[in-house]
Structure 1
Amino acid sequence: MPHNVPISNFLSSALASKHPPDVSTIMSRTCKRFGFLHATLYVMSRGRDGGTNNLFTTYSPEWVKYYFENDYSRLDPIMRRSLHSILPVNWCSVKPKTLAERRIVGESLEHGVGSTGLTAVQRLPSGGISVLTFTSDEQPQHWNRRVKEIAADTVYAACILTDSLRIGNECSALPQPLTSRECEVLQWAARGKSAWETGRILGISRRTVEFHIGNCCEKLNTVSKTQAISKALTQRVISL
């Protein structure tokens, strides 16, 4: 598949449209357009009242939950290298050294994260950071050639996406809070329960569960249940 259009141009065009999609949707569309396995934007901002973390990803909710529950961001060799690098980090250049690092890499492969990737960290004026990652299952020799083509543009893409959050205020509180029932339904979905199973647990019909999931997606400005779960977890709307 040809990738002659820079990633940054693709993102700029999407965000400049009359009705721009939310960042989670853009992540999915970027993967489809450029043939990436996954795309993730993780923003850790700081402010007077502390800080907020926002995650927009195509990773599975199971991996996101497992990663943060085990505090892997502190041990992840890719994150550690990226936080100390000005340039984007090609995953092929990072060799796990400790048992913990090898375990993280192995478990990420089991969860379908991808064997190769590129991570770019942007330092924010507030003192926080944003981390943009694209992953792939391409062979290292092919991926290394591609990294040479997209590395600089990935840094610019991170700037565009992070700035869109500031302008669009996506990092603020939810404009429409979820009801207690919507939180219950989404929380059971995050634990891997189907609509039918959730209905049995809560004493409601499968159709009612699906109705609540639809409301959650609308309120969270996402296009799928998976994205809604990811956003609700990172904004601490629900917990596991």
Structure 2
Amino acid sequence: MTAIEHSFHEFLDALQTGTDEIAFQNIGERAAHRLGFRWFAYLSLSDDTPRLISSYPRSWTTRYFELGYDDIDPVLRRARTERRIFSWDGEVQMPRSRKLKSFFDDATTFGIRTGVTVPVVGGFGRLAAFTLASQERSAAIDRLVANSSDILHLIGLYFHTNLEIRLSQHRPTHRHRNLTQRECQCLAWSARGKSVVDIAAIVGISPRTVVFHLENCRRKLNAASLTHCAVIATRQGLIP
């Protein structure tokens, strides 16, 4: 299994334990870093109010909407018509207006210069875009996009689909829903019969850390054993 395939499978596992926007932000940020990018951003324009989940600096995202950059952003405009993943580079774009030049200058100030975007176009003008961005182009990222664009495309589509499903379920709030993302991930694999050593290899952490997370799960759910813990977590919708 190649490095990107391993990252992709870990990403899929993590999606199964995402329960809210914070969890999905952590999932997206971890995936971006594993793939060699600095940031990730998911922007959904399906409703009247845009939904942004990203690891961009908050000062940039606030400025982005306050100045109406979402109306002129050439990446978003391209995402409305494209159906496949595409690359972009702000430093080689040719601004056609003062406002567009200001947009590129601002993005560069925050270090956002290049990236790839996966468009998710729906009916009735609905649009979502999943972006992986970096401070500068690199040979490694260029090779990744050239050789693994299909996996990057799937990452964007899976993120969008799982997020929409999870947030539309309106799960009831449980008093024990304070398990961390990593705790849920380790417990989910344990429930499937994986050993501590197996989980450590799959998730990419040490066996000792796996034991630490599983013990936290058992303690937080007040379970007598890991089996009991998995049953409680499954009933409460904490693990698939």
Name the TM-score, length of structure 2 as normaliser.
Answer: 0.60
Offset at residue 125 of structure 1 (A): 5.0
How far apart are 1:132 and its partner, in Å?
0.3
Distance 1:157 1:58, change over 3 A: same
Unaligned runs of 5+ in 1: 177-240
Residues 92-103 of structure 1 aligned to structure 2 (within 5 Å): 92=89, 95-98=93-96, 99-103=98-102
1:111 and 1:92, CA in 2 relative to 1: closer, same or farther beyond 3 A? closer
Distance verdict in 2 for CA 1:58–1:171, change over 3 Å: farther
Q: Is the 8 A contact 1:7 1:157 kept in 2?
A: no
CA deviation map 1:150-197 (0-9, x unaligned): 322222112211111222116979979xxxxxxxxxxxxxxxxxxxxx
TM-score (norm 1): 0.60
What is the number of equivalent residue pairs in this alignment? Answer: 170
Q: After the TM superposition, which residues 73-84 of structure 1 pair with which residues of structure 2 at under 5 Å, given as runs? A: 73-84=70-81
Q: Please give the residue correspondences for 1:1-240 in structure 2 after superposition, counting only pairs within 5 Å.
A: 3-5=3-5, 8-17=8-17, 22-46=23-47, 51-92=48-89, 95-98=93-96, 99-113=98-112, 115-125=113-123, 127-139=125-137, 142-169=140-167
Q: CA deviation at 1:16?
A: 2.5
1:69 deviates by 0.6
Alpha-carbon separation, structure 1, partners of 2:153 and 2:128: 10
Mapped contact 2:88–2:115 kept (Cα < 8 A): yes
Aligned residue type for 1:97:
P
RMSD: 3.2
In structure 2, distance between residues paired with 1:169 and 1:5:
27
SS where residue 5 of structure 1 aligns?
Answer: helix
Larger Rg, first or second structure (1 or 2): 2
Share of identical aligned residues, percent? 20
Please list the CA deviations of residues 93-129 of structure 1 after superposition, one character each: whole Å capped at 9, or x if unmatched.
962331332321121011122x210011101356411
Task: Evaluate the alpha carbon distance shift between residue 132 and residue 15 of structure 1 in structure 2; reply closer, same or farther with a 3 A threshold.
Answer: same
Query: How big is the shift at 1:7?
Result: 5.2
